[in-house]
Amino acid sequence: MSAHSTYEPKTGFERWMDMRLPIIRMTHDTVLTFPTPKNLNYWWTFGGILALCLAMQIVTGIILAMHYVPHVDFAFNSVERIMRDVNYGWLVRYTHASGASMFFLAVYIHIFRNLYYGSYKAPREVLWILGCVIYLLMIITAFMGYVLPWGQMSFHGAVVITNLLGAIPLIGPAITTWLWGGFAVDDPTLNRFFSLHYLLPFVIAGVVALHIWALHVPGNNNPTGVNVTSKDDTVPFHPYYTVKDGFAIVVFLILFGFFVFWYPEALMSPDNFVQANPLVTPQHIVPEWYLLPFYAILRSIPNKLGGVIAMFSAIAVLFVLPWLDTSKVRSMRYRPSVRPYYFILIGVCLVLGWCGAQEPAQQVIPHFTTFTVIDYDLNTVVWLSRVMALYYFAYFLVITPMMGLRETPLPLPESISEPVLSHPARGPAVTAAATQKG
């Protein structure tokens, strides 16, 4: 779909520029005239929303860095100073902190849209892998950012996550010490996390540029999953999708504003309002909501290395998904037998998230003891996490490869235009096409 450029320089300056650095042409071709499938629904607006999230995090982050002090003795107080004394500091910090949650909310919707419509399949594997890289970088960046306020959860979260690497045989402890710059999470750790937290968003922006480049080679997937066959299947990005994305962004910002202005602390842990104390771990230590499913998977394995491997595998499996899926049909619209498994996966991820926020030995159904299997009672969060983690991996490693071979998909439309035109609500002109499909 990398069509020939339709840009024609209009002014003398544009002609002059076009001969030297054709950046106006590039912008014109990628933002204005880019041919986009005409049937994209609102699930496709999250790419634009995510670009906005990244921009907002970078802008608010640069401002926060002007007032923040990366030192164990001053970090906590400097954040409180931002909240109380810096002009509009509360607004910038709440936007940045809530922004992280909104960013992950949008990225999860973006990923699950991808899974439903099979956007990761050929020829978009590289596009998908770049997306996975962005997601991984987002996790690392968010984790380091969460350490900076130097509250109790910041500190002990950093201890737990850096210790994960200590599970690597032989070199693990050396890597942990290297990462800490000492024998425990301390001032050197805070300093380097600040440095990297500032750097990584720009790395993400770079990968986003590659992601968009990789998107613009094959072009967008669409809800039918069938390829664009003619010019009739597409519309120019502007004004059609600038307006649609714009509307979605406004709705998204209303939700964003709801958190920033009414419930800015809803997504924060009360323990993080207590300054870090290396001698006392909070009674109940949990990561931010967007990492809870992985935390539940980590805790479900009663072995340090095993738990760490399972947790990293949960992300690693996404990278190879294009080669695990044996189905040529992209959209689940035409794969009714796979759809239930997909919706179960969403439920499983939500339940894993719930499990991650509970204590391991807590009962799922209160006041109900069954019998102990291996180490815990069957009616505990640990066992629920195990069953859910098993489904998570089974979905990617068993169900996805198997169903592609065994299912009978519904007949695919000839083109993107066909199901749009043959929609029952659209006049008689296309009833022929509809009956033909039967």
Partner 1 sequence: MSDTVVGANPDPHVSGDEPNRRDFIHIAAGAAAVGAVAGLAWPFIDQMNPAADTLALASIEFDLSKVVEGQQVVVKWRGKPLFVRYRTAKEIAEAVKDDHADLRDPEPDEVRHKPGKPQYLILVGVCTHLGCVPNFGLGDYGGWLCPCHGSVYDTSGRIRKGPAPKNLAVPDYSFLSDTKIKVG
Q: Say if CB 63 and CB 86 are below 8 A apart.
A: no
Nearest approach, Cβ of residue 386 and partner 1 (Å) = 13
Nearest approach, Cβ of residue 376 and partner 1 (Å) = 9
Nearest approach, Cβ of residue 228 and partner 1 (Å) = 42
- 128 versus 180: smaller Cβ distance to partner 1: 180
Nearest approach, Cβ of residue 258 and partner 1 (Å) = 32
Residue 407 burial by Cβ neighbours in a 10 Å radius (0-12, 13-18, 19+): middle
Nearest approach, Cβ of residue 152 and partner 1 (Å) = 11
The amino acid that residue 12 corresponds to is G
Helices (H), 217-290: 237-261
For CA atoms 330, 332, 337, 340, the dihedral sign is positive
Q: Which residue has the tokens 């998909």?
A: 409
> Which residues have CB under 8 Å from 151's CB, separation 6+?
76, 269, 271, 272, 273, 274, 275, 276
- 31 versus 361: smaller Cβ distance to partner 1: 361
- 148 versus 185: smaller Cβ distance to partner 1: 185
From CA 155, how far away is CA 167, in angstroms rounded?
A: 19
Q: Say if CB 97 and CB 268 are below 8 A apart.
A: yes
Contact residues toward partner 1 (CB under 8 A) are 156, 159-164, 166, 177-186, 188, 192, 278-285, 298-299, 301-305, 307, 359-361, 375, 382
- 140 versus 421: smaller Cβ distance to partner 1: 140
CB hemisphere CA count around 270 (13 angstroms):
3
Q: Say if CB 290 and CB 142 are below 8 A apart.
A: yes
Q: Which residues pair with 363 in a beta bridge?
A: 380
Nearest approach, Cβ of residue 347 and partner 1 (Å) = 24
- 9 versus 181: smaller Cβ distance to partner 1: 181
- 18 versus 186: smaller Cβ distance to partner 1: 186
Nearest approach, Cβ of residue 233 and partner 1 (Å) = 46
- 162 versus 327: smaller Cβ distance to partner 1: 162
